[in-house]
Amino acid sequence: MNNFKIMTRKNILALVLIVGGLFFAVSGIADNIKLNPIKPTAKVALTDEQQGVLAVRTAKASVVNIVGVTPPNTKAGKDALSVNLPPQSIAGTGFVLEKDGLIATNYHVIESEGVNYSVVLADGTTYPAKIVGIDKFDDIALIKIEANNLIPAKLGDSNALETGQSVFAIGNSLGKYQNSVTRGVVSGLSRAIDENQGGPTNHNWIQTDAAINVGNSGGPLINMAGEVVGMNTLIDLTGQSLGFAIPINTIKDTIGQLKAFGTVSRPYLGIQFVTIDPVFKLKQNLNISDGAFILSVASGSAADAGGLKANDVVTAINSQKLDSQHPLDGEIQKYQAGQQISMTVFRNGQSFNLQVILGTLK
């Protein structure tokens, strides 16, 4: 009898395990588990899909459309559309920075002259917009609408990004699909982008394979926490899945000056350079692993006056060593135009210091 009881208990336990397994294995049961509402619970982890939905839901409330119709014979910006929109119509995206109506977007979205721009909120409410400040070099603009109690975007830390990290791009795709969402990964960091047609080059852009379309410019690139880590800005039409975003930390650094002065005063060195990595070191047969290899020096520039030459390697600025985490352009932006800096230079096997007075970017 005792053996029978033991066997019965074992059979019952086995039956419970089998039925429990079938509950989760049978097709359709798991599919019917609702994603909504998504409310994080202590000690209960969300699935990757649920976390993504929550992140997008958090960010969408701060995303706005930017529209404008140009008068006849007015030059339109880069995001002017000739398909699916009225003639001379402009479409872009932005995200709220402050609850009283301060909004960030790309400069190229609002660069057209003589255009009356409007902002359309997620609920369809439309407000006229005025330009607060522009930064042509980094392609950033601040605009303002007379509204209250808007939901500011949560700003993250772009310096904490890792290649392979999941991100979402949100924006006004093609000027007619408001708050469209695409998902991808961070496919590259510190990318060099020359938007200035031969001028200084931005060296710290985020590359992503999240689809970015015309009209998405100025919209947020967010992480899985719903934080804005970049501003979607550029599509490389020569390849597939090549989109680029301005790091949010770059935008944070300009907000104060744009609000106060309407523009940004930037130091200017006057060089073109490459940040040394293992591949470049091997190709150039260098004895130095970190630093900035100078490709050219602009005549009459601050670098020229300070004695820098092509093929020099700048290894430090004011004792801060240069590497992938401290690129030359990022360190230069910590100083003001007219300020003198000490640059450690490696040339012809010797290391020495040069004193350079920074110029002003125009």
Active site annotation includes 180: no
CA-based nearest residue to 105, from 81, 76, 134, 77? 134
HSE, CB side, 13 Å, CA atoms: give it for residue 131: 21
Q: Does residue 112 contact residue 80 with C-beta atoms inside 8 Å?
A: yes
Query: Residue type at 246?
Result: I
Q: Does residue 107 contact residue 140 with C-beta atoms inside 8 Å?
A: yes
**CA gap 23, 3 in Å, rounded:** 30
Pairing of strands 320-321, 313-317: antiparallel
Phi, psi of 256 (to 5 degrees): -60, -45
Phi, psi of 143 (to 5 degrees): -125, 165
Q: Does residue 232 contact residue 225 with C-beta atoms inside 8 Å?
A: no
**CA gap 263, 201 in Å, rounded:** 19
Annotated catalytic residue: which of 139, 209, 312, 329? 139
Annotated catalytic residue: which of 108, 158, 173, 180? 108
**CA gap 255, 98 in Å, rounded:** 11
Cα-based angle 173, 174, 180 (whole degrees, multiple of 5)? 15
Q: Does residue 7 contact residue 14 with C-beta atoms inside 8 Å?
A: no
E strand intervals along 6-101: 63-69, 80-81, 89-98
DSSP line for 256-313: HHHHHHSS---EE--EEEEE--HHHHHHHT-S-SSSEEEEEE-TTSHHHHHT--TT-E
- Cα–chain center distance at 252: 11
Alpha helices in 27-128 (DSSP H): 48-60
Annotated catalytic residue: which of 187, 217, 312, 329? 217
Active site annotation includes 139: yes
Q: Does residue 281 contact residue 336 with C-beta atoms inside 8 Å?
A: no
Known catalytic residues? 108, 139, 217
